[in-house]
Structure 1
Amino acid sequence: MKWEITQPYQTEMRDYYMSLGMDHLEMQDDKQVSVWYYDDYSVKLEKAGFLDAYREATWDREKGKVFPFPGPAQWHPDAWTGRKAAEYIEALDGDAPLFTWVSFSGPHYPFDAPAEYYARVDMEKLDPRIICEGEYDDAARIHHRSYHGADGIDGAHAAPGRACKNFTEGYWTELRRNYLANVALIDDAVGHILDAAKRKFGSNLLVIFTADHGEMLGNHGLWGKHNCGYEDVWNIPMIVKYPDAEEGAVSQAMVMLTDILPACVKAAGGTVPPCDGMDFRENMAAGGHRYVIGEGEGYLSISDGTSKYIHIQKKNENFREFIDMAADPLETVNGIRDPANAGKLSELRERALEILMKDLLP
């Protein structure tokens, strides 16, 4: 039987998306969303005959979210996203202005790189996992239960016995290999997109490459990113290429995702509206943000680059940690109870309140 699916953003929600400036949308929403709900990608994947196998692998608990993609590499979600973005750019009028946001689901779990990308990863060059014996002996640690078992609050659901400590070293090795292989696939896809953009627009391009979070990859014995204030999840590189930039430079200035809007508007010659971010060039000239903050439902973390405060509220419980990153760069010690940290802890908490209650609210 031949059938088609019409997405809501093509019909009743079209005006809403248009009001946000989205005049073209092709969805590969999330790897685990695509295997359960129909988006543009999963509709095509099913017609190609690979959706059922992808579903089975994704929801197989014994695989622990780590497996080779069960189909040709061209049908991997990130390869599909890169291909659709390049095709869209190729079809455009090169004289018209363009803003394109391309979002890759990977290398987010499931860690599902096509097997042919495994050879791109040299596992011998990887640093050993960061492991500190007894790190979670203190029941007040945020990830105590996720590591040891019971009802945790981060990402232990894929672990045997729901305890991250039960993952074997072989599992961590396979996970890290798949993750990096997926990065290699995305690297190829980004290359195709940039090639298409250069053919269409020449050098008149502002390119921003970044992510919303990192991945623990077995460091501290943890899996995923949920409620993690570690630098593995927090400290995400950002690459920015301006049209007039001739030489590259590396900066340790702290930026936030809220800086993307003013950077894009200013580069396009527009007037930056009142917003929470700061243009990248202005930010770097000023030495970067003094504080950076991450927040979500039941989650708050703030850092000044040398110290970090993390507050998690889940299931009517509060977990608080203070990390002195200058003295403890591997972030293995919770200094929340150390009187020597009281001054810096108070500073970070007060600044977090100022940012959330004053800066971010109209």
Structure 2
Amino acid sequence: MSQPLNVLFLLVDQWPADSFGFRGSSCATPNLDQLKSRSTDFVNAFTTCPLCTPARGALLTGRWPHETGVYDNCGVGYSNQPRMRNETATWLDHAKEVGYRVGYFGKWHLGTDGLKDRGLDGFDDPGEVHTPYDERPGFSYENTKDYYLKHGQQILKQGTAPFWGETGPDAGPSKCGMAVDSGLSFLQQQRDSHNDQPFFLTVSIADPHFPHYLPSHVLAQRDSLDLPYPANFDDDFSNKPAFQNGHWWPCHDTDTLTDNDWKHIFDYALRHREYVDAQIGKLLDALRQSGLEEDTLIVFTSDHGDMCGAHNRFDKGPYFYDEVWRVPLLISMPGVAPCENAEFASLIDLGRYFNRFFGGTNEPTEGLRLEDELGKTKQQPQDSTYAHGVYDMYNGHWFGIRAIRDARHKYVRNLNAVDEFYDLTQDPHELKNLIDTPGYREPLAVLSRQLDEFLEAIDDPIRHVEAWPTPGQVVHVNPYRN
């Protein structure tokens, strides 16, 4: 019997779905372009929640936040989100159980000791210390803003904290570089000492998450580009939820950004992604040179997207605009022809795919079976299929958002705020909320009914809460706890 396939999982943080050379972007991504040339490219892939910790909790487990208890960012802001429980099964555990040599390097963001206690063959300490808000009495929005400003003054040769900047030689090694170096070491050990055992290597790169601080030598590798503003930069937020204009974190305060700042943000964010592509190239080259490439499944995705000026917003926030909801997803399976597949795929589908890949059989039936879609060219998603998203908390602030979309329409249910409905064919940049437009009552009713059926199918506890907090209200305990 032949040895099982190896797996190399490349997870990045906050990468827009279309910012690749192979998607026609100005972003030069030769290494990911090459990976795409031998992958199934899921062009309609979505995160479960456009926020780091909840997205990663769903991805690692194949389970929704109410099933894992992971609703909010862990250890950030006003959050009291506990770490993901060690007894919560992930595909890391399943891979170990079936005899894989398992390594995980880089960003975890699911709380203290989540890697150390899983018996992995290789991991690094992501340096996460879970300190709930009620144990950090000195935290405040203003203190965090002051920290960003002071830290920027210390390390930046030029720039505007916490958005963009040029660092000198004293800024220290990048988290991206350290994670990739650890992955390279794992592959070297695999080639030299563990060829008789299949491996599952995850390299979780914390970049190109903001702030877009880049060292001088990276900036010198390419001339600056005069990039245009996003087509939806001038959103007036008419008939949209008021909380979308809230400053829930210092990076949400874009009011003081100048034209010069925005131009640098567009440029530095793009070059940040190019830097990550170059680092990923080192891993792909090492895999090829080791002779393991032909026996290795390679997967690339991001935990969520990036606003980067869309709707005059930076980073991400409590909303489901496609800029943050959509993610890239490439799956390169040996022996499977490359293609583009437009079925709606989700990070939770990817988590369940990994669970099944490593022997799991008790997986929910809703969603897309990615293994059945590899190598299949599809121009459009099937009729009556949908992307779903959930959003409960942002750094301790409650929002309670549920989202659904099909090939043309998007419906966002905002508890205690105005709902949103967009015609993505007529308004691809999501500028006009049609929630009260008579001509759209029928498609709105269809998506609303489908959303209700989905929430019932997954037994979402949001259906049973009688009194909702105000959107943006600081909530220190799980609002869905019975």
Q: Does residue 129 in structure 1 map to residue 219 in structure 2? A: no
State the AA in 2 paired with 1:142: P
Q: 2:298 aligns with which of 199, 204, 207?
A: 207
**Larger relative CO (CA 8 A, sep 6+): 1 or 2?**
2
The alpha carbon displacement at 1:187 in A equals 0.9
Q: Does residue 305 in structure 1 map to residue 379 in structure 2? A: no
Q: 2:323 aligns with which of 203, 211, 232?
A: 232
The alpha carbon displacement at 1:113 in A equals 2.5
Q: Given that residues 266 and 272 in structure 1 are in contact (C-alpha distance below 8 angstroms), is that contact kept between their aligned partners in structure 2? A: yes
What SS class does the counterpart of residue 274 from structure 1 fall into? coil
Partner of 1:64: 162
Partner of 1:40: 125
Q: Distance in 1 between matches of 2:215 and 2:273?
A: 11
The alpha carbon displacement at 1:214 in A equals 0.9
The alpha carbon displacement at 1:327 in A equals 0.9
What SS class does the counterpart of residue 318 from structure 1 fall into? coil
Partner of 1:322: 421
Q: Distance in 1 between matches of 2:148 and 2:435?
A: 47
Q: Given that residues 227 and 263 in structure 2 are in contact (C-alpha distance below 8 angstroms), is that contact kept between their aligned partners in structure 1? A: no
Partner of 1:5: none
Once the two structures are superposed, residues 222-253 of structure 1 have per-residue CA deviations (whole angstroms, 9 ceiling, x without a partner) of: 112112322211222211101112x4222322
Q: Which has the higher strand share?
A: 2
Partner of 2:431: 332
Q: Given that residues 309 and 321 in structure 1 are in contact (C-alpha distance below 8 angstroms), is that contact kept between their aligned partners in structure 2? A: yes
The alpha carbon displacement at 1:265 in A equals 5.1
- Give the stretch that moved more between structures: 19-28 or 194-203: 19-28
Alignment of 1:91-130 (within 5 A): 91-92=189-190, 93-119=194-220, 123-124=224-225, 126-130=227-231
Q: Given that residues 120 and 181 in structure 1 are in contact (C-alpha distance below 8 angstroms), is that contact kept between their aligned partners in structure 2? A: no
Alignment of 1:148-187 (within 5 A): 152=246, 157-158=250-251, 162=253, 164-187=254-277
Q: Which has the higher helix share?
A: 1
Q: Distance in 2 between matches of 1:360 and 1:145?
A: 27
Q: Does residue 259 in structure 1 map to residue 349 in structure 2? A: yes
The alpha carbon displacement at 1:69 in A equals 4.2
State the AA in 2 paired with 1:194: L
What TM-score comes out, normalization by structure 1 length?
0.74
Root-mean-square deviation (CA, aligned residues, Å) is 3.7
Once the two structures are superposed, residues 148-205 of structure 1 have per-residue CA deviations (whole angstroms, 9 ceiling, x without a partner) of: xxxx1655x336xx4x343212111111222122212211221222233331623111
1:168–1:226 CA distance, 2 compared to 1 (3 A):
same
Q: Does residue 274 in structure 1 map to residue 375 in structure 2? A: no
1:40–1:132 CA distance, 2 compared to 1 (3 A):
closer
1:341–1:124 CA distance, 2 compared to 1 (3 A):
same
Partner of 1:192: 282
Q: Distance in 2 between matches of 1:296 and 1:53?
A: 26
Q: Distance in 1 between matches of 2:412 and 2:309?
A: 20
1:118–1:310 CA distance, 2 compared to 1 (3 A):
farther
Q: Distance in 2 between matches of 1:121 and 1:70?
A: 17
1:74–1:98 CA distance, 2 compared to 1 (3 A):
farther
Once the two structures are superposed, residues 202-222 of structure 1 have per-residue CA deviations (whole angstroms, 9 ceiling, x without a partner) of: 311111111121111112211
1:252–1:201 CA distance, 2 compared to 1 (3 A):
same
What TM-score comes out, normalization by structure 2 length?
0.57
1:336–1:271 CA distance, 2 compared to 1 (3 A):
same
Q: Given that residues 53 and 70 in structure 1 are in contact (C-alpha distance below 8 angstroms), is that contact kept between their aligned partners in structure 2? A: no
Partner of 2:311: 220
1:102–1:356 CA distance, 2 compared to 1 (3 A):
farther
Q: Distance in 2 between matches of 1:100 and 1:360?
A: 33
Partner of 2:138: none
- Which residues of structure 2 form unaligned runs of 5+? 1-82, 94-101, 113-123, 129-146, 393-399, 462-482
1:24–1:252 CA distance, 2 compared to 1 (3 A):
closer
**Moved beyond 6 Å, runs of 4+:** 52-55, 58-61
1:19–1:300 CA distance, 2 compared to 1 (3 A):
closer
